[in-house]
């Protein structure tokens, strides 16, 4: 395992002329560029420019350790691949940001100590900015900053923008909006490569991100070249998909080390969840590439750890690698990207073999067939047929009005006890020992226990009385436990909790999640184990005779009889009705529609949801009701605006506050926010300024000339607006593109009254440069960093 401190890496093909390098303090090798050391975990990748590179089929790089030792590493790259790479000269090399203190843009909490002995101490992230480079980072926050800082689509002179065509995106004449998806590649068969000598699949670092760029169904290179050729980290792009309204743009991040899924631990689940949390507001959806052996465990774990999830997280893998000619991995990845980028399915799901399954309902049934996963006790959430069929009524939506968060604390002291004929009491005692806090009991049939084994019942009762939570699940793949049989009822009489139709994977991870909630007492934890938290179990509901089945009545009146026609009518009628009553602030009618089967999150023909309308109208009660019943704060309408942007237009601070608490963020570009607040400040529209600030604007945003709202207010001479802006953090000394500050402009026109106000907001001691834009160093405890750059930077 590589040393976590003082490591330096330089990469180049054999026999290359290394033009610009650096010197390791303890190395015998001498190079032309020296740096200040130590700087933990700074990595520099460099490709030499030599004609002999194109004939090489080995990618080599040195790894230097803190003790001065060095190691030569090699990786196979096909000759044709090297020809395509056109290895960049030294002026195109990239430097790595140092990460002695992991940057964390969205969370300042320290990372928990690794608890599993099998965990690898040092873990990194790998991505390929383009075909010329491989980049290594330690924190997902560094990647997000590199990929999206000053990110913009390139406008190419003479090149027409991509427009939708008939059948693609619903019609012609409009440019397809883009959906951004982050792909986390953790390992597994999906990214493996066949070893020509042994004929077996093997994991190969850095192979998948480079291979995908050359596969046309997975990457539209022409579109990327037209629109993203000048960005620091080039994404990938799916070609247009028929009937889809968005073009999926995605970034691939590879975990280091790549993990076989059988090596997956609780710490790896936490790592995946934290990476999604840190990048949550930068993407519309997430895809996790994973090995199949423990994929169902990971899917269940993420579904419970991610509380109040508002975006799709799709986990997929493969039985045959993506880059093979015959591959299920390629189709699985395409399907997962389509779902993550185009559909409002705020769940952790599993996509495999043209089916989208709820993650915590999934189990692996086949280790050699392409239909490896199934959800025996629940129909798929979606099916990829000639058209994509989404079962919206089955989608689980959180009823909590709260922002997205993850529960990192998972209890490790859980076990599984599978009952079998003549099981010894010693086996039972071993599974129920005092250190165990939770047990999944796998019993026969519908939850039946050997009734004559009173010794086992006694041990289970002892465990329950000391505070151990025991959950009863069936050994059968399909069906649920039933307390109507005596052999099952004896378990519930001693305090065992019925597990309904949960899979074993889901029950075990749910136990770990519930026991990890230290803020819950034992009775609450037991109650939560019997409650449907994420759609993981079936709860029987009595039929509501008062439900208003509007669609059924309408179908009878217009002579529709078939179930397919009724479903089409339901999809056509409900969304505009829900939007209509949201505009009227009629919560009672919305309730009737919901009881009749309406989806409160469904968009109309313009992609506008009821929450968009209620937020724009400032209807607080309706907004609360819609959020409670699953409306998404992240949904975008035809103008690419989410409900929070609509709420800003209404200037209703209560609605804005509620949407922010539920996880809403301003999705407007920073320059657009700057222009909007500058115009509002110039007009003295203090209500709009307050609304923008409540929605997340900082008043440090600038327009196209680098001018802030405070510049505009000073020029207009609006004293109340100046005070409002300064009270909320606007800096009198923030310069525009011409070097002018609000304070300097007030002095230039001899407005002593404005100068007096602005000077009163200056820091009492020390110079100020105004409000700085957020930087990575802000999140690294102000640790000084030495950064390297050879002809470019990330």
Q: What share of the chain is helix, strand, coil (3-state, %, to 5)?
A: 35, 15, 50
**Is 292 one of the catalytic residues?**
yes
Are the CB atoms for 530 and 498 separated by under 8 Å?
yes
Q: What is the 3-state secondary structure (H, E, C) of 269-286?
A: HHHHHHHHHHCHHHCCEE
- 364, β-bridge pairs: 373
Q: Is 532 left (phi over 0), alpha (psi -120 to 50) or beta?
A: beta
Per the structure block, which two tokens stand in for 753? 């009254």
Tell me whether residue 293 is annotated as binding. Answer: yes
- 363, β-bridge pairs: 374
How crowded is residue 554: how many other Cβ atoms within 10 Å of its Cβ?
Answer: 14
How crowded is residue 593: how many other Cβ atoms within 10 Å of its Cβ?
Answer: 23
The owner of tokens 């986390």 is: 184
Q: Return phi, psi of residue 75, to 5°.
A: -145, 135
Q: Is 157 left (phi over 0), alpha (psi -120 to 50) or beta?
A: beta
How crowded is residue 62: how many other Cβ atoms within 10 Å of its Cβ?
Answer: 17
What is residue 288's three-state secondary structure?
strand
- 125, β-bridge pairs: 137, 255
Task: Name, in order, each residue with C-beta under 8 angstroms of 479's C-beta and a sequence gap of 6 or more.
Answer: 377, 445, 446, 501
How crowded is residue 76: how many other Cβ atoms within 10 Å of its Cβ?
Answer: 13
- 316, β-bridge pairs: 289
Strand 44-45 and strand 414-418: the pairing is unpaired
Distances (CA, A) of 573 to 115, 554, 691: 53, 10, 34
Strand 193-194 and strand 201-202: the pairing is antiparallel
Q: Return phi, psi of residue 440, to 5°.
A: -95, 115
Choosing from 292, 298, 504, 702, which is the catalytic residue?
A: 292
Q: Sign (positive/negative) of CA torsion 615, 620, 622, 626?
A: positive
298/433 Cα distance (integer angstroms): 26
Q: Return phi, psi of residue 421, to 5°.
A: -55, 130
482-503 CB burial, b ≥16 within 10 A, e <16: ebeeebbebbeeeebbbbbbbb
Judged on CB neighbours under 10 Å (0-12, 13-18, 19+), 72 is exposed
Tell me whether residue 292 is annotated as binding. Answer: yes
276/405 Cα distance (integer angstroms): 10
95/166 Cα distance (integer angstroms): 45
Residues taking part in catalysis: 292
Going by the annotation, the residues of the binding site for substrate are: 261, 292-293
């Amino acid at each position: 395992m590589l040393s976590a401190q003082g490591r330096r890496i330089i990469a180049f093909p054999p026999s290359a002329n290394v033009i610009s390098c650096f010197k390791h303090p303890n190395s015998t090798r001498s190079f032309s560029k020296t740096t200040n050391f130590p700087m933990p975990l700074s990595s520099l990748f460099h490709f030499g420019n030599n004609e002999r590179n194109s004939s090489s089929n080995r990618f080599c790089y040195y790894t230097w350790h803190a003790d001065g030792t060095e190691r030569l590493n090699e990786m196979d790259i096909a000759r044709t691949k090297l020809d395509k790479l056109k290895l960049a000269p030294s002026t195109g090399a990239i430097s790595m940001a140092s990460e002695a203190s992991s940057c964390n843009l969205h969370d300042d909490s320290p990372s928990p100590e690794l608890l599993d002995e099998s965990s690898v101490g040092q873990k990194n992230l790998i991505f390929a900015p383009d075909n010329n480079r491989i980049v290594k980072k330690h924190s997902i926050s560094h990647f997000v900053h590199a990929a999206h800082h000053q990110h913009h689509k390139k406008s190419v002179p003479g090149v027409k923008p991509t427009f939708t065509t008939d059948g693609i995106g619903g019609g012609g004449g409009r440019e397809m909006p883009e959906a951004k998806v982050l792909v986390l590649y953790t390992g597994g068969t999906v990214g493996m490569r066949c070893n020509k000598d042994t004929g077996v699949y093997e994991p190969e670092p850095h192979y998948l991100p480079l291979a995908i760029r050359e596969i046309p169904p997975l990457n539209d290179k022409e579109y990327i070249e037209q629109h993203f050729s000048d960005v620091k980290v080039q994404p990938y792009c799916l070609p247009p998909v028929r009937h889809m309204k968005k073009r999926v743009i995605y970034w691939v991040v590879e975990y280091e080390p790549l993990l076989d899924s059988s090596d997956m631990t609780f710490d790896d689940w936490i790592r995946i969840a934290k990476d999604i949390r840190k990048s949550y507001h930068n993407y519309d959806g997430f895809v996790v590439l994973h090995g199949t052996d423990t994929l169902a465990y990971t899917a269940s774990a993420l579904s419970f750890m991610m509380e109040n999830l508002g975006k799709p997280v799709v986990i997929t893998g493969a039985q045959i690698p993506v880059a093979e000619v015959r591959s299920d991995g390629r189709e699985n990845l395409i399907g997962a990207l389509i779902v993550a980028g185009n559909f409002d399915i705020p769940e952790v799901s599993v996509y495999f073999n043209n089916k989208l399954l709820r993650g915590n309902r999934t189990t692996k049934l086949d280790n050699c067939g392409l239909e490896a996963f199934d959800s025996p006790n629940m129909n798929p959430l979606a099916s990829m047929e000639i058209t994509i069929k989404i079962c919206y009524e089955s989608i689980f939506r959180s009823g909590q009005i709260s922002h997205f968060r993850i529960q990192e604390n998972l209890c490790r002291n859980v076990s599984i006890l599978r009952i079998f004929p003549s099981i010894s009491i010693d086996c039972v005692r071993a599974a129920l020992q005092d250190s165990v806090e939770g047990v999944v009991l796998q019993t026969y049939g519908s939850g039946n226990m050997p009734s004559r084994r009173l010794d086992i019942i006694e041990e289970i009762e002892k465990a329950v009385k000391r505070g151990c939570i025991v959950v009863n699940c069936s050994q059968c793949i399909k069906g649920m436990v039933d307390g109507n049989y005596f052999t099952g009822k004896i378990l519930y009489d001693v305090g065992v909790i019925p597990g309904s139709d949960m899979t074993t994977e889901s029950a075990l991870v749910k136990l770990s999640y519930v026991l990890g909630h230290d803020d819950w007492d034992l009775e609450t934890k037991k109650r939560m184990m019997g409650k449907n938290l994420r759609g993981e179990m079936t709860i029987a509901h009595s039929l509501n005779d008062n439900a208003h089945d509007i669609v059924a009545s309408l179908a009878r009146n217009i002579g529709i009889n078939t179930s397919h026609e009724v479903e089409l009518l339901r999809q056509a009628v409900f969304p505009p009705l829900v939007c209509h009553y949201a505009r009227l602030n009629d919560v009672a009618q919305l309730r009737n529609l919901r009881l009749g089967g309406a989806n409160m999150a469904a968009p109309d023909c313009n992609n506008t949801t009821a929450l968009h309308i209620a937020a724009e109208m400032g209807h607080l009660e309706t907004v609360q009701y819609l959020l409670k019943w699953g409306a998404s704060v992240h949904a975008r309408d035809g103008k690419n605006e989410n409900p929070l942007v609509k709420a800003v237009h209404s200037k209703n601070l209560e609605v804005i506050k509620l949407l922010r608490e539920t996880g809403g963020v301003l999705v407007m570009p920073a320059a657009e926010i700057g222009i909007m607040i500058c115009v509002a400040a110039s007009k003295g529209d203090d209500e709009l300024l307050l609304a923008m600030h409540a929605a997340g604007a900082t008043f440090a945003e600038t327009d196209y000339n680098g001018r802030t709202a405070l510049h505009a207010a000073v020029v207009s001479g609006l004293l109340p607006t100046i005070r409002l802006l300064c009270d909320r953090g606007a800096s009198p000394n923030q310069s525009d593109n011409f070097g002018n500050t609000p304070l300097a402009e007030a002095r230039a026109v001899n407005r002593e009254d404005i100068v007096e106000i602005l000077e009163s907001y200056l820091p009492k001691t020390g110079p100020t440069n105004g409000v700085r834009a957020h930087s990575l160093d802000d999140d690294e405890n102000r640790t000084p960093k030495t950064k390297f750059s050879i002809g470019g930077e990330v």
